Structure 1
Amino acid sequence: MLYEGVIRKMQTELGSPIQYFLVFENDFINMNQVLNRKLKIEFIKYQCLGTGKNEPIYRQGFCKSYFFESAAAGDWIMKPELSKAHLDIEDRDLEYEKRVQLQPHIVYLANSSNVKVGVTRKSQVPTRWIDQGAHEAIEIVEVPNRYLAGITEVALKAHVSDKTSWQKMLKNDLEDVDLIEWRQKLKSYVPEEVADYFIESNGETHLDFPVLQYPEKVKSVNLEKIPKHSGILKGIKGQYLIFEDSTVFNVRAHEGYYVGIDIN
């Protein structure tokens, strides 16, 4: 069965296991149903997610010009502490920035390869945790805007990592930890202006990924270097496809790539 379209990050549905969908303009693939089947992926052209043009992808599925012009790629995306919409200060497009920044945000702890702190919009829970391949996660604070979440993350990452080892995550090289205990340890480091938003009443969320076989070593697929890849799909974790030969395909890293996918 042949599919064709531009790659965007897989959509997910919480379940046991999590359901994954690769969605194209006029079709979609339930990736869970492709497990144990041969998947062929072929790079055809670029298609910038912002302009739709066939131009090399720079970052986040965008071509270089769009990345440096679009409000959807402002510095505050990766560094929430730089958010200024709450001050009515524009970065690239104040209307867009207010729409995204001035809504409830969560600062959380997630455990995928190690315990890490992160920030996401409340509407993106638990999607953000799924995308990171976290097998357990918990909220620390819920704040009304992105700036407060950002300064909280900055304060906490002096005491806990803000990075994930994607190789360890994919190998399932992890240990269960008590995230409630971790949250309590970090409570005193939450900035004073955020202290009233601290969450103490909720428990951990546990996530179950559809993986039949974890790789012992991981080798990343890059369609720009080798435009065709095929293999038996053995698992899906985070935004990665895991193949029988221990190669892994990072869907997020290939956003904006127009591909053909053949399933046998």
Structure 2
Amino acid sequence: MKYEGVLTKMRSELAETVQYYLIFESDFIHVNQLLDRKISINFLKFQCLGCKLQKKVFAQGYCYNCFSSLPQAGEWIRSPELSKAHLDIEDRDLEFEKEAQLQPHVVYLANSSDVKVGVTRKTQIPTRWIDQGAHEAIEIVEVPNRYLAGITEVALKGHVSDKTNWRRMLTNDIKDLNLEDEREKLKGFIPEEARNYYLAGNKETEIKFPVLQFPKKVKTLNLAKNPFYEGVLKGIKGQYFLFEDGTVFNVRSHEGYVVELNVN
């Protein structure tokens, strides 16, 4: 089978085992069905996710011009505490920013390698946890806008990491923790503006990924440097393909790459 299209992050569905899908313009791939099969990936060209032109991708699937100008690539995306729509202050497009920022957001703990704190829109749970390869996660607060979530994350990351050790996550070098206890330890560090939104009763969510074999040591595939690769798919975790020879391929970091996939 042959598929061709521009890569975007895999869509996922929480089930007994996470289900993954690749969506191309004219193709739909249920990635779980490719496990234990030989796959080749051939990089053809770039296509900016913003302007759709054949321009080199700079970041997040966008060319430099789009990354520098589009509201969906604003700095508040990466740093929620910089959100200003609640003050009626525009960054790049106030209407877009109000729609994105002035909705319920969750600050959470996710355990992918070690426990980390993060922020996401409420509608992105559990997708955000799956994307990070978390085998367990729990909500800390649910607040009405992105700014409150951002300042809460900033306050808490002084006491818990906000990064994922992706190599440990992919080799399954993990430990199970009681996230309800970890959440309780952080309760006193929540900013006063967000304390009334603390979620004391939520239970942790457990997530199982479709992996037949974890790599003992990972080597990353970068299509810009190595435009062709072939291997047997042994697992999917986070936004990564895991191959039999230890090669791992981060789909999300290759957004905007047009590829040809051949499945044998």
Using the size of structure 1 for normalisation, the TM-score is 1.00
CA drift at 1:202:
1.0
Distance 1:5 1:78 in 2: 27
Look up the match of 2:146. 146
Look up the match of 1:211. 211
Any residues of structure 2 matched to 1:72-221 within 5 Å, and which?
A: 72-221=72-221
CA drift at 1:70:
0.5
Distance 2:146 2:230 in 1: 41
Look up the match of 2:262. 262
Look up the match of 2:4. 4
| SS state at 1:68 partner | helix
RMSD of equivalent CA atoms: 0.4
Look up the match of 1:60. 60
Distance 1:13 1:25 in 2: 20
Distance 2:5 2:188 in 1: 48
Any residues of structure 2 matched to 1:2-81 within 5 Å, and which?
A: 2-81=2-81
Residue type of the alignment partner of 1:180: E
Distance 1:140 1:257 in 2: 36
Structure 2 gap segments, 5+ residues each: none
Distance 1:26 1:227 in 2: 22
Residue type of the alignment partner of 2:79: K
Look up the match of 2:243. 243
Distance 2:227 2:43 in 1: 5
Residue type of the alignment partner of 2:138: I
Residue type of the alignment partner of 2:96: Y
Distance 1:251 1:14 in 2: 19
Distance 2:211 2:125 in 1: 22
Distance 2:193 2:10 in 1: 36
CA drift at 1:27:
1.2
| SS state at 1:168 partner | helix
Distance 1:94 1:230 in 2: 45
| SS state at 2:133 partner | coil
| SS state at 2:77 partner | helix
Distance 2:202 2:158 in 1: 24
Distance 1:62 1:16 in 2: 34
CA drift at 1:144:
0.3
Map Cα deviations across residues 176-200 of structure 1 (whole Å, 9 max, x no partner): 0110001000000000010000000
| SS state at 2:69 partner | coil
Q: How many residues align?
A: 264
Residue type of the alignment partner of 1:105: H
CA drift at 1:16:
1.5
